[in-house]
């Protein structure tokens, strides 16, 4: 069952007009990557809602902060060319980060994200990249088990069992989404 913009606003009240922009492309992305059913959809909306400031930001707010400055030269992110840290900052609803992730995402979605990383700022690609990332990290399995905490941990810290930034908000969005989508 598709998610309406009204349902998105019930879950993410600060999304405002963005709910109407994102609802159709979110549904397309979720369908493509089998993020279907109340548990999966609730977890996906909760996590993407938190990561994007309730769909208000599709690009990481750049300082650079101390953590962002460390993106530069990080081989684990594939950031091997000077300037890659900022060029491949977090984008999309789950904040795809690093040259290597942009390359993999671009290949999967048929987009040239190495030469046009800003494509992930467009709503359809912001949603599709998030759904792709979700799928490649096996998060539907955790969503089916109702394990929203570990989903947030994997998205935010890269590992299970760690407390992610915004854990309380992620959980509140999840609980609200389960109510709205039931």
Q: Which residues are catalytic?
A: 51
Angular region, 173: left φ>0, alpha ψ -120 to 50, beta rest: alpha
**H-state helical runs in 33-164:** 38-51, 66-69, 84-87, 99-109, 123-136, 139-144, 148-157
Does residue 37 come out as left (phi exceeding 0), alpha (psi in the -120 to 50 range) or beta?
A: left
| Alpha-carbon distances, residue 159 vs 43, 44, 61, 164 (angstroms) | 17, 17, 23, 10
What residue has token string 């709910």? 19
Of the candidates 174, 136, 140, 125, the one whose C-alpha atom is nearest the C-alpha of residue 25 is 125
């Amino acid at each position: 069952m598709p998610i309406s913009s009204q349902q998105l606003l019930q879950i993410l009240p600060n999304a405002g007009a963005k709910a109407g922009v994102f609802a159709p492309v979110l549904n397309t992305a979720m369908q493509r990557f089998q993020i279907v059913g109340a548990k999966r959809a609730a977890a996906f909306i909760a996590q993407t809602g938190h990561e994007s400031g309730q769909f208000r930001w599709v690009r990481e707010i750049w300082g650079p902060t101390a953590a962002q400055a460390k993106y530069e030269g990080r081989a684990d992110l594939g950031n091997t060319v000077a300037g890659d840290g900022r060029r491949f900052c977090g984008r999309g609803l789950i904040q795809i980060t690093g040259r290597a992730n942009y390359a993999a995402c671009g290949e999967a979605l048929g987009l040239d994200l190495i030469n046009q990383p800003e494509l992930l700022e467009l709503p359809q690609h912001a949603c599709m990249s998030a759904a792709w990332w979700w799928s490649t990290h096996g998060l539907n399995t955790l969503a089916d088990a109702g394990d929203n905490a570990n989903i947030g941990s994997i998205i935010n810290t890269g590992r299970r069992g760690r407390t992610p930034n915004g854990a309380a908000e992620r959980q509140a969005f999840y609980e609200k989404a389960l109510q709205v989508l039931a």
